[in-house]
Amino acid sequence: MDIIVRESYDELSKYSAKLIARLVKSKPDCVLGLATGSTPIGTYKELVRMHKEEGLDFSQVKTFNLDEYYGIGIDLDKPYELDQSYARFMHEELFKHINIKKENIHIPDGLTKKPDEYCKWYEEEIKKAGGIDLQLLGIGGDGHWAFNEPGSSLASRTRIQALAQQTLDDNYESFYKKAGIDRANMPHFAITMGIGTILEAKNIIMLANGIKKADVVAKCIEGPVTSQITASAIQLHSGGITVVLDKDAASKLNGLHHYMHVEKLKQEYGF
């Protein structure tokens, strides 16, 4: 596991975008697993810049998003119908700015009438695509990945997941309160990739920034592997893992100086 610490969110975003761009250039038909939330926005902005200014080509890339609220859906041709969908988020932050083909974009369908069958189909589509080459992740305030709330099985697959109270509270304050939407009318369930699904990605990049994430980042990386902090499953991944943090998010790591020493050595010796 490579722990990369950068001075700022901007530097974190540029570093992670550079890793993704390197894969896209070396494997133009790669499969990317993508995340929503505030943390990856800077990474997406940098990828958009690379596309517009440096010609980074997404025409053969396929993407699979981690999750979507259940009961919310969107037609990408009508991106403003439902403001809170993750499909809209991805369209606005990334997809409409790059040359990715619409048929290569996969986002869970929050309006499916047969969620169990749909979740199995989503898993099969990932397999048909050859698996995810690189999965981009954030980490929730309680240590969850996607909507794998505390207590989720570390072997879980794509499924319907009830949202934890903290997630509901965070979502309400961040999105629904501002939009004047009552708590009773906000989504209480989501379709999410499982931890087992995520761990099958060949490579993982996990991002975290800000002092509010410092404690949970330390527990995820240096604490025990536990279903109460589903992101701690990163310790079980056998492929390439890169955790990119700003200095605030990294501030509670016991091994911080060691991680920075290792990065410096790898840079010096070309690893």
Which of these is catalytic: 46, 109, 123, 149? 149
Select which of 68, 93, 142, 246 is catalytic. 142
- In the set 67, 68, 246, 248, the catalytic residue is 67
Residue 230 main-chain phi, psi, to 5 deg: -65, -25
Q: In what order do the strands lie in the sheet with 159-162?
A: 67-69, 189-192, 159-162
* Annotation says 67 is catalytic: yes
Is 144 tagged catalytic?
A: yes
Which pair of tokens denotes residue 193?
């990739």
Q: Is 72 exposed, middle or buried (CB count within 10 Å of its CB: 0-12, 13-18, 19+)?
A: buried
The one catalytic residue in 109, 144, 246, 248 is: 144
Residue 135 CA: distances (Å) to CA of 34, 64, 195, 231: 6, 9, 12, 13
Does the annotation count 149 as an active-site position?
A: yes
Q: Which residues are catalytic?
A: 67, 142, 144, 149
